Amino acid sequence: MRKSRAMNLGTGLFVLLGFAALFFLTTQTTNRGVSFHSEPHYRVTAKFDNIGDLKVGAPVSMAGVEIGRVVGIGFDSRDYKAVVAMNLNAKYNQIPTDSDASIYTQSLLGGKFVGISPGGAETYLKNNDQIAFTQSAFVLENLIGQFLANFGKSSDHSKSAAGAGGQVK
Amino acid sequence: MSDSLVRLGDIVGFLGRIMLQVPRALLRFQLIVDQVYNAGALSLVIVMLSGLFVGMVLGLQGFELLQRFGSEQALGTAAAIGLVKELGPVVTALLFAGRAGTALAAELGLMRATDQLSAMEMMAVDPIRRVVAPRFLGGVIAMPLLAAIFSMIGIYGAQLVGVQIMKVDAGSFWSQMRASVHLIDLNEGIVKSCVFGVACSLIAVYEGYHAAPTAEGVGAATTRTVVTSAVIVLFLDYLITAFFL
């Protein structure tokens, strides 16, 4: 009987430790913490020429503070633009209608996020509004292409010998 | 090929027979508690030690790699994602198969070899209800808890190496982890550990229950338990990962 009591105690401690570990993982390692409910929010959309590799779930920030998340990415086949739907926290309901949305890169290895810079209008964005002024993602390939094109133009005469050599090869 | 298909069908059928007895087995809860102790509490030391060292090596390797890109602050994220989604459930399942699965298979195999299971049937006690179902349920309960403990200790180990020894900033270690580990990542780990728990426990009780009633048979059943569990766990791991992506 005493052996069984010790075993039950051990089992109890084990189960307790297991649930403590689960609790630690949910509250300490995730961004959600213990809150499973979603806060009240409103939805705005914006059309971009190019969104790069922006993903659903990416943060939407203003002055570096996260105010919402990207909840949907679609393609508008009439004007060939990407449509990004964002849920903004209802706390931040005083964003001027002429604000502009840009896509930035978080860090060298980080993903893309949407940054909103405030405009000067007296009216504020409401649910289902659209942000008119947008700036596309910074796409490295395009930039390198532009750079090479400009570089080629400016140094055309000086590099013509090398260019000819390349062509012969 | 057809042999292994027959065996797979057999295992699934065995799972069905266990499931039918689960409600009855739950009535004698003390038997399940004893098996949670055998499968879980007794595996705790090996799981915690392995978790610590896996976490520490993750911290060391991750630091070395991330430092090249100047983003060693991402160490917390890398360690947490790696542990919670992959290493936690998979390594725990392999250890579980080695520590608890073999014990189950050998115990049941010896019961078979010494005719204890037949004796129970003679006394109109269903051995599946009295012996197999509690062991299966004990393993299924213990496995997710062990995996969570493994991940927690592993993150502590990564923190130990990354923050205490390699001097990664503690604030960015934790805050980057919190910013980029999502509940879905955690769900993936939990689903994996539950599925692995069912798979490993089922294979162990199946092999033990169907062991040839000889000393050799018990040994073969134990070996098959570890081999089959390892292969099945890694295969299921790929499937579940693909499902969650």
Task: Give residue-wise pLDDT tens across range B50-95.
Answer: 999 999 999 999 999 988 887 877 888 899 999 999 999 999 999 9
Structure tokens that stand for B191 in this block: 């689903």
pTM of the model: 0.71
CA dist B158 → B10, B58, B132, B188 (Å): 42, 6, 38, 21
* Cα(A23)–Cα(B189) distance, integer angstroms: 14
Reported as a single tens digit per residue, the pLDDT across B47-57 is 999 999 999 99
**Which pLDDT score is estimated for A142?**
77
Classify residue A100 by its DSSP letter: E
A→B contacts (Cβ < 8 Å), by residue, are 4, 7-8, 10-11, 13-15, 17-22, 24-26, 28-32, 36, 57, 107-109
Q: Considering chain B, what percentage of its residues have pLDDT values greater than 70?
A: 100
Nearest to B181 among A20, A29, A107 (CB): A29
Q: Taking CA atoms, what residue in A is nearest to B187?
A: A26
Edge-to-edge strand list for the sheet holding A133-135: A129-131, A41-48, A81-89, A65-76, A59-62, A112-117, A100-105, A133-135
- Class of residue A61 by CB neighbours under 10 A (exposed 0-12, middle 13-18, buried 19+): middle
Is the pLDDT reported for residue B192 higher than 50?
A: yes
Tokens of A92: 């931040």
Name the pLDDT band for B138 (thresholds 50, 70, 90).
Answer: very high
A19-45 pLDDT, tens digit per residue, is 999 888 888 777 654 444 467 888 999
From residue B12, alpha-carbon distances to A117, B7, B74, B198 in Å are 59, 9, 43, 12
The Cα A92–Cα A62 span in angstroms is: 10
Instruction: Work out the end-to-end distance of chain B between its first and last CA atoms, rounded to an integer number of angstroms.
Output: 31
The per-residue pLDDT for range A70-119, each reduced to its tens digit, is 888 899 999 899 999 988 888 888 889 888 898 888 766 566 788 999 88
> Helices B183-209 and B215-244: crossing angle, nearest 10°?
160
Pick from B242, B82, B44: which is nearest to A29 by CA? B82
pLDDT band at A146 (very low <50, low <70, confident <90, very high): confident
Domain ranges of chain A: 1-34, 41-143
Give B135's pLDDT tier (boundaries 50, 70, 90).
very high
Question: Given pLDDT bands bounded at 50, 70 and 90, which one contains residue A169?
Answer: very low
Domains of chain B, residue spans: 39-244
Interface contacts (A, B; CB < 8 Å) = 90
CA dist., res. A57 & res. A65, Å (int): 15
